[in-house]
Amino acid sequence: MHLQTKNSQAKFLTVIKGRVFDVLVDLRKNSKTFGKYYSIILSNQSYSSIYIPEGFAHGFCGLDKENIVYYLCSKYREKNYEIGILWNDKDLNINWPIKKPILSKKDLKNISFKEYCTNYI
């Protein structure tokens, strides 16, 4: 689950080929849905897109062998402020459709939701 701790980004995502399981987590501390997640399957066949407002962590996993995702951000990437929350964090309890995803080296270093709350809220 990716986010920037400063200069938060809004995102717009469309799947051009394949299918992805897309997840967003509300990190706005005064929100009624703080710490809750929303998930949706996006595909080229559903002709659907998702808008993710600022203040949300975001992640997705590919469900087909080949997936092409069109991904727009409202602000430039700020490498020094990028962090991630564990995809399988027990407090978020996201119901992912796969149990053993392939993760990047960067994502293997993600923090727990509790660590995020302690250090960034």
Annotated catalytic residue 116: no
**70 is annotated as an active-site residue:** no
Nearest-angstrom CA–CA distance, 52 and 9: 9
- Which are the contacts of 120, defined by CB distance < 8 A and separation ≥ 6? 5, 83
What percent of the chain is helix, strand and coil (3-state, nearest 5)? 10, 40, 50
Selected catalytic residue, list 51, 70, 71, 120: 71
The tokens describing 4, both together, are 């920037």
Positions marked active-site: 2, 71
